[in-house]
């Protein structure tokens, strides 16, 4: 957008909190649009939901009115139940074996 290759954006990540967003708005003021509630509701069939916070008017450059939008939060660690660590004895819910870690650290710490 800063290079002028595109003029609009539909993107994840906290675009409006990025310092480049401020610079862009100084060069070319933008307007952040809301997404209608019934449209957000349709997206529920794909697991998307409403962003649980209204982006308040004036909180960032380009937020001329309160903005309602779609949530795109979180990283997930996903595991395949059939394959992962099969037969290894690894249990993701088990507490770490501290004695083993400490023993390893004693042997290997060299800095």
Partner 1 sequence: MILKSVRSRFSGLFVIAMALLSNMSAFDAYAQSDSHADRWSQWQAKTHLVISAGRANFPRIAAWMLNAVNDQFPDAEFSGEILFTGSGYGIELKNLQRGMAQVAIPTPSATPYMSYHGVGVFEQANPNVRGLFRIGQRDPITFAVPAEWGVNSVEELIKRKIPLKIATGHQDDDDTTGFLFEEVMKAYGVSLAEMRSWGAKIEPMRGPARRCEACSRERWIRSFTKPL
Binding site for partner 1 (CB under 8 A): 1, 5-16, 28-36, 38-39, 42-43, 45-49, 51, 53, 55, 62, 64-65, 67, 69-85, 88, 90, 92, 94, 96-97, 100-101, 104
HSE, side-chain direction, 13 A CA sphere, residue 35: 15
Minimum CB–partner distance for residue 26 and partner 1 (Å) = 12
Q: Do residues 92 and 57 lie in contact, with contact meaning Cβ atoms separated by under 8 Å? A: no
Minimum CB–partner distance for residue 60 and partner 1 (Å) = 9
């Amino acid at each position: 957008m800063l290079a002028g290759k595109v003029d609009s954006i539909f993107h994840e990540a906290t675009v409006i909190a990025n310092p480049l967003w401020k610079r862009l708005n100084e060069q070319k003021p933008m307007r952040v649009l809301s997404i209608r509630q019934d449209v957000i509701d349709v997206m529920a069939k794909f697991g998307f939901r409403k962003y649980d916070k209204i982006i308040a008017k004036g909180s960032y450059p380009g937020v001329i009115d309160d903005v309602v939008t779609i949530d795109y939060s979180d990283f997930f660690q996903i595991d395949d139940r059939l394959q992962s660590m099969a037969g290894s004895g690894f249990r993701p819910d088990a507490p770490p074996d501290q004695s083993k870690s400490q023993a390893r650290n004693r042997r290997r710490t060299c800095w």
